[in-house]
Structure 1
Amino acid sequence: FKVFKKLLTKSKLTSITIDIDSSVINVEGHQEGASKGYNPKKLGNRCYNIQFAFCDELKAYVTGFVRSGNTYTANGAAEMIKEIVANIKSDDLEILFRMDSGYFDEKIIETIESLGCKYLIKAKSYSTLTSQATNSSIVFVKGEEGRETTELYTKLVKWEKDRRFVVSRVLKPEKERAQLSLLEGSEYDYFFFVTNTTLLSEKVVIYYEKRGNAENYIKEAKYDMAVGHLLLKSFWANEAVFQMMMLSYNLFLLFKFDSLDSSEYRQQIKTFRLKYVFLAAKIIKTARYVIMKLSENYPYKGVYEKCLV
């Protein structure tokens, strides 16, 4: 957490959004802890399932860990949330946890509530929610991009109390709507979100859609930091390698925060390499110095000069 906390302090943010998500890492050998699980790209292949937590505003890795490939998505999420809050929460920092439906679980929600934080989680389309949302008495408010929203305050079966659910509906494709149905509201696709924020209904949906950023951060870690290639036999050795890779990822962000303009902070690692590493230059060695000579027309020379000041 040290590098992330340093980034957080430098940013002076008073509220952050932490996205928790998981991703499959394929293995081809006989790595310990790897097993067959949900693996859409290589069905039946042994794999690891890594749980990540990213801060969206900083694009930074907060914490995470390697799990066996057959681990359920939400396993360990409540404990991870407790660890995050214990390490970074302060009186002047508000934390919102954002997760997909794989983390739609009252234990996770209760954990976040008990820690005094906010949450926005995509809910599963249980019949309890669907039946209420399609009731003719429910009024939807029209919004942007054909979206309509409303709110429900309800308690699911086996839950301890009522919570706020935001419902979003959009018209199904015309071909699907052509197949008429007698069921009320069947011409719509419905999406449900549970939250304790005070955001307006449509703002809740729009804010959730930004969760896609976390998927991009995971892809960047997997393909640009080689997290997708955990090759050691020992499970704990692979866990250590993973943590070192993500430490490097955050150190790189810290370097960009200190050395580059804010407009370039969010650029991907591969873009940085193409702009500042994979370039034509001449190395000249003298008795006392090693000099790198760049082309006069190199457009980013100022960045090097700024870093060397």
Structure 2
Amino acid sequence: MTGKLSRPVLRGPTPGNGGRLLGGMVSLIRTRYDASVSIIVRLDAGFFDEKNFALFDDLGIGFLATGKVYDAIKEKVQAIPKKKWKEYANERQVWSYARFSYQCENWKKAYRALYTRPQYDDQQRLLEFARPDNIILTNLVSGEPVLERMPRAVREYWEEDTSLIYHHHQRGADELPHRGLKEFASEQLPFKRFATNQAYYYLMLISFFLFESFKEDNLKDILPIHSYATTLRRKLIDLAAKVVRTGHEVILKVTQAAMDGLKLQILWTRCQNAVPIPQPS
């Protein structure tokens, strides 16, 4: 699951136990969704810590983390034969990458790692000093329990180096739900006390969940499902209309262009038929 807020927590001035929060989230997914589903988390360099990686192993979940480029790692990468370097490309960029084993001096185990460096930027090759080199770490390696428990097709997918690079590049999309929440409500909490701000925050999340549910249930083929609240307000709510009262009825009149463009008749029918909430088995 990506692009969703699954278990948000508003923390106070004293940081909580991140491991406990993650463990609770994994337990929630395992018990309420699917006990055997594959869980993989994406991390930036701020979570680069052997304790975190060991926690992921204990929880039986995979991870894609951004590693740190130490001098010893650079020397190890420079020793990789040229023939072992490969290329990965998307529509805009080409990277060269090589696979190696990453282990800091005091670590108990080594992890599968990829060293990536861009070769082209806007059709121009970057010089050595200008390359934003990157390291991708993961525990998704043959023989590890987290990978061996996956279905064969899923396991083979994650064994491909290109899959790691693709999903590591997509980690920025994990911030989009937070942007959507801020556009829906507010970026700043309105009160001075933590308890009242906490209540406001969770009510804001409930409202945002209802907003997202409304889009997914009713706006298919009408507006993009991933539209932000500002877009939805501008296109669907802030439109010219006239309220007419006649014959004990209240009629909302809109232009024919709005009626056709927004498929208001279809939208009205969908809103009259609520989608039932599935009951957990």
Does the alignment reach a TM-score above 0.5? yes
Counterpart check, 1:116 vs 2:60: yes
Q: CA RMSD in A?
A: 2.8
Number of residue equivalences: 242
User: 2-side partners of 1:281 and 1:305: how far apart?
Assistant: 19
Aligned mate of 1:256, from 198, 215, 220: 215
The residue identity in structure 1 corresponding to 2:134 is F
Counterpart check, 1:133 vs 2:74: no
The alpha-carbon deviation at position 114 of structure 1 amounts to 1.2
Aligned mate of 2:244, from 276, 284, 297: 284
The residue identity in structure 2 corresponding to 1:260 is L
Aligned mate of 1:99, from 43, 52, 73: 43
Aligned mate of 1:154, from 85, 93, 102: 102
Which runs of structure 2 are paired with 1:1-309 in the superposition (5 Å)?
Answer: 16=1, 56=2, 59-67=3-11, 76-89=17-30, 90-137=34-81, 139-144=84-89, 145-171=93-119, 177=127, 188-197=131-140, 198-226=158-186, 228-261=187-220, 264-285=224-245, 289-298=249-258, 299-300=261-262, 301=264, 302-308=266-272
**8 Å contact kept, 2:119–2:125:** no
**8 Å contact kept, 1:172–1:187:** no
The residue identity in structure 1 corresponding to 2:86 is V
**8 Å contact kept, 1:163–1:195:** yes
**8 Å contact kept, 2:184–2:208:** no
Q: Percent identity?
A: 21
Higher RCO (CA < 8 A, seq sep 6+): 1
- TM value normalised by structure 1: 0.69
CA deviation vs aligned residue, 1:114-163 (integer Å, no higher than 9, x gap): 11111111112233322212225363112212201111123212222111
CA spacing shift, 1:186–1:132, aligned 2, 3 Å: farther
Q: 2:256 is paired with a residue of what secondary structure?
A: coil
User: 2-side partners of 1:260 and 1:247: how far apart?
Assistant: 19
Larger radius of gyration: 2
The residue identity in structure 1 corresponding to 2:181 is A
User: Any gaps of 5 or more consecutive residues in structure 1?
Assistant: 1-15, 17-55, 178-184
The alpha-carbon deviation at position 172 of structure 1 amounts to 8.4
- TM value normalised by structure 2: 0.75
**8 Å contact kept, 1:164–1:194:** yes
User: 2-side partners of 1:67 and 1:126: how far apart?
Assistant: 33
CA spacing shift, 1:157–1:239, aligned 2, 3 Å: farther
The alpha-carbon deviation at position 175 of structure 1 amounts to 10
The residue identity in structure 1 corresponding to 2:102 is T
User: 2-side partners of 1:125 and 1:95: how far apart?
Assistant: 27
